[in-house]
């Protein structure tokens, strides 16, 4: 089964190569973490989107974090409400770690969960579904996460590591604003543009923004005043080669593993041929969504995964 969607890519013709009012001091374009504001414009492409659930049911080898960059699992959680931040950080984080150890190929030595975001398609929510094709971390951002969150670096030095985003609907099926993923095998390094990620300066200096988000002032969306660079993501430019997939009516009993980085991927020096590097992804509007469908709610938990 398939549907169609209008996908918002980074428009490379609107990039400026030198520092200016539309770049940070590094000269890179920027995007804000708390609102849909960027220093560049977007360009829209309509694409077909294939439901992966029947394909996974036919063969579990069709999609995986090592091949396509993502994989789907049926894995009901003990946590159901996700309304208590402490319960999420303790109980649900533990569930996520156990799930990664059980499902990922290879022997996992260490899991460090460093962030989570709850998104709601609701005008009162400070974090909305992101309708822009992107990857959460660049290699530089992944390295920074290791140095920032791993206390004893010698414990993980030289080991293969990944950043995996564990994505789950909350409360009801994600029929509204479903998540689309691009098969890594249809991408190339040239599709990726490094973008500085801006956070409100008032947020905690330790970078722990979980549960502390507030709605930004829409009248100041294009101003960088009061913001600082605290991350780097990939914006993605259009390509006719990209193949999009989604999970139709994905339920809270299902999870997606979305790879954002892999130190042993084909794109890394000395990496392994055929091993996926990342997964571009985005929310999109499915024209088949019934009128009156409840707004999507979801949680994404970002994890550093180190292997033996």
Give the position of tokens 């339920």: 251
| Residue 189 phi, psi dihedral angles, 5° rounding | -55, -30
pLDDT for 219:
63
Q: Indicate left, alpha or beta for 117 from its phi (over 0: left) and psi (-120 to 50: alpha).
A: beta
Tell me the C-alpha distance between 150 and 148, whole Å: 6
Residue 293 and residue 109 in contact, taking contact as beta carbons nearer than 8 Å: no
HEC letters along 210-230:
CCCCCCCCHHHCCCCCCEEEE
Q: pLDDT in tens for each of the 308 residues of the chain?
A: 899 999 999 999 999 754 545 556 678 999 998 888 999 999 999 999 999 999 998 887 889 999 999 999 999 999 999 999 999 999 999 999 999 999 999 999 999 999 999 999 998 898 999 999 999 999 999 999 999 999 889 999 999 999 999 999 999 999 999 999 999 999 999 999 999 999 888 655 555 655 556 666 666 677 888 899 999 999 999 999 999 999 999 999 999 999 999 999 999 999 999 999 999 999 999 999 999 999 999 999 999 999 99
Please name the residue ranges forming H helices in 68-218. Answer: 85-87, 93-103, 139-149
Please work out, in degrees rounded to the nearest 5, the angle formed at the alpha carbon of residue 245 by the alpha carbons of 243 and 249. 160
Compute the 3-state secondary structure of the chain and give helix, strand, coil in percent, each to the nearest 5.
15, 35, 50
Tell me the C-alpha distance between 239 and 10, whole Å: 11
pLDDT for 129:
95
Element (H, E) at 244: strand 244-246
Give the position of tokens 């694409």: 47
Tell me the C-alpha distance between 103 and 57, whole Å: 16
Please name the residue ranges forming H helices in the chain. Answer: 53-58, 85-87, 93-103, 139-149
Give pLDDT tens digits for 32-44.
988 889 999 999 9
**Cβ burial, residue 206 (10 Å; 0-12/13-18/19+):** exposed
Please name the residue ranges forming H helices in 192-288. Answer: none
Residue 111 and residue 117 in contact, taking contact as beta carbons nearer than 8 Å: no
Residue 213 and residue 34 in contact, taking contact as beta carbons nearer than 8 Å: yes
């Amino acid at each position: 089964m398939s549907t169609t969607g209008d996908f918002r890519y980074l428009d490379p013709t609107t990039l400026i190569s030198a520092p200016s009012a539309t770049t940070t001091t590094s000269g890179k374009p920027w995007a804000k973490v708390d609102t849909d504001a960027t220093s560049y414009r977007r360009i829209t492409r309509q694409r077909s989107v294939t439901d992966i659930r029947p394909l996974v049911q036919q063969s579990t080898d069709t999609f995986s974090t090592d091949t396509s960059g993502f994989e789907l699992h049926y894995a009901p959680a003990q946590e159901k409400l996700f309304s208590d931040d402490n319960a999420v950080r303790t109980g649900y984080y533990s569930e996520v770690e156990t799930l990664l150890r059980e499902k990922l190929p290879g022997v996992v030595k260490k899991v460090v969960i460093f962030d989570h975001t709850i998104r709601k398609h609701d005008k009162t929510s400070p974090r909305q579904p992101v309708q822009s094709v992107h990857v959460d971390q660049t290699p530089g951002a992944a390295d920074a996460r290791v140095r920032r969150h791993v206390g004893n670096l010698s414990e993980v030095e030289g080991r293969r590591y990944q950043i995996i985003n564990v994505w789950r609907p909350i409360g009801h099926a994600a029929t509204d604003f479903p998540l689309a993923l691009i098969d890594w095998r249809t991408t190339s390094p040239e599709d990726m543009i490094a973008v500085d990620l801006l956070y409100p300066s008032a947020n905690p200096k330790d970078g722990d923004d979980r549960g502390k988000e507030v709605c930004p002032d829409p009248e100041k969306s294009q101003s960088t005043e009061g913001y600082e660079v605290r991350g780097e993501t990939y914006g993605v430019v259009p390509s006719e080669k990209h193949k999009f997939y989604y999970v139709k009516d994905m339920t809270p009993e299902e999870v997606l593993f979305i790879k954002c980085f892999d130190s042993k991927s084909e794109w890394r020096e000395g990496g392994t041929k055929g091993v996926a590097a990342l997964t571009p992804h985005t929310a999109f509007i499915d024209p088949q969504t019934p009128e009156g469908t409840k707004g999507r709610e979801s949680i994404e938990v970002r994890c550093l995964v180190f292997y033996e």
